[in-house]
Amino acid sequence: MFLMLLMLLMLLMFVMLLIFYDSKTQRPAQQRSQLPSPTDTGGNASAATDHVNTALGQSGDKDALRSARANLNWGVRAAKRAYGQKVQSHFTDSKNPRRLWQGIQSITDYKPCPVPSDDDTDFLNILNTYFSWFEEAHTTTITKATLSKDDEVLSLDSADVRRTLHRVIPRKAAGPDNIPGYVFKECAEQLVYILTDIYNISLSQAIVPQCFKATTIMPLPKKSPALTFNGYRPVALTPIMMKCFKKLVKDHIMSRLPAMLDLIQFAYRPNRSTDDAISAALHQSLTHLENKNSCVDAFH
């Protein structure tokens, strides 16, 4: 009897490992947050059921078989409830659309097909020439502006730099320096004073470091598959260090402009989007159409 109970305990542990396989450390850390597909859960439960029925059926103990089946059904129901709660959690946070799409992809078992790389060397060289046209030498000489004594040079504060570094998105693509976003976010306290000095020296001398201006051009197909180089959209990947610098300067400039900006300008303004522009245009059009003998002309 003791051996029978020991065998049942081992089988039950095996069943629970199969059902909760996704939450264990057998998967890489970056994949634990992904939801298992319903087909995976059902397959694990089916395999566990067959294993239990075969093992206990051979023993001939009907009471143990009924008890094992009951425990197995309870474990399957608990796993399904946990899976349902895990899926529902992806739809509770309305401010995180990325998590929402992860839930939809998990429900539909969506797996994107990888786009094969193009090995045509001649085509890649033409594409590189097409995207590097701006690197050609220009004859226009840029003169440096002369500052008067009354002009005040912008000086960035370390608190603003720290806040900007903490807001860096870790999964953001790195630039030519290959420094990922999580380095700036996780090491913000170690980098804040160094970057503050670099930014302020650049502003005081009115010179942007050459490494800040380097850019990696990534050709993304406008419509897959892209048959010509005109079918690719160039996406510029600048260093994240430079993106933080531009954001700090932009925030300073925008803080001086609100009184000068038009009320109906929605681009490059906080808490405004294209949806607001569409709603405002629609409201003005409908308000105008309430008058008799009126019409609205829309140009795109």
213-251, pLDDT tens digit by residue? Answer: 888 888 888 887 777 777 888 888 999 999 999 999 988
Q: What is the mean pLDDT of residues 70-85?
A: 87
Residue 23: which residues within 8 A CB-CB, separation 6 or more?
Answer: 32
pLDDT at 118 over 80: no
Q: What average pLDDT does this structure show over 1-18?
A: 52
- Residue 57 CA to residue 198 CA, distance in Å, equals 74
Q: What is the mean pLDDT of the chain?
A: 76
Alpha carbon of residue 105 to chain centroid: 15
H or E stretch at 237: strand 232-237
The rounded distance, in Å, linking the Cα atoms of 44 and 25 is: 17
Average pLDDT estimate for 168-175: 88
Residue type present at position 271? N
Candidate from 3-17, 69-83, 100-114, 267-281 with smallest mean pLDDT: 3-17
Q: In this predicted model, which residue has the larger pLDDT, 85 or 47?
A: 85
The answer, yes or no, to whether residue 162 has pLDDT greater than 60, is yes
